[in-house]
Amino acid sequence: MQTIQRPDQSEEYDRLWKLRAIFDTLSDNYAKFYNPSENLAVDKVIVKYSGRVNFRQYIPKKRKRFCIKIYKLCDEAGYTCAMRVYLGNDSQSASDDMTATHATVRNLTSRDEGLGHKLFLENFFTSPRLFEDLDGHKINSCGTVQPNKKDMHRDFEPK
């Protein structure tokens, strides 16, 4: 059995360091042993958790008040193709031209670029820049939108 050393808490500290090897193995095997169907969806999954971790979420209006958020890419049969645990502030993955949700979707779909998949999203993830970016990587995308999102076309403004 391999002993895992606790890493130093620096800027690049991995909050999931105890489970990182398991998640990496799962992610590699998802891609290795299964070819997803043409239709894919990105969504967030809320897992009830009452233990003590620093990335646990508190959502007072949900039945599962204390939870861990996991972002998943699934195909139409429900098979998980990729997943990512939300570890708190995603500002490290955000940049000037890419929001944190945009970076999350791009991270989840990185293995499916150029294959002509159809990606379905909910309004939490959608943005005009994301759709343009996915189209540039030959991933067709569709999703609901919020009319007040940044860079939204004027035709979608509420009247």
Q: What is the pLDDT of residues 35-85, one digit of tens each?
A: 888 999 999 888 888 888 778 888 888 887 888 888 999 999 888 888 888
Residue spans per domain, the chain: 20-156
- Inform me whether the pLDDT recorded for 130 exceeds 80: yes
Dihedral, CA of residue 111, residue 123, residue 53 and residue 107, to nearest 10: 20
Give 3-state DSSP helix, strand, coil % of the chain, rounded to 5. 25, 25, 55
Best CA proximity match to 73, nearest among 103, 102, 45, 115: 45
Rounded CA separation 88/17 (Å): 14
Q: Which fold has domain 20-156?
A: Nucleotidyltransferase; domain 5 (3.30.420)
Strand (E) or helix (H) holding 80? strand 80-85
| Prediction pTM value | 0.79
Q: What is the mean pLDDT of residues 134-140?
A: 91
Q: What is the pLDDT of residue 121?
A: 92
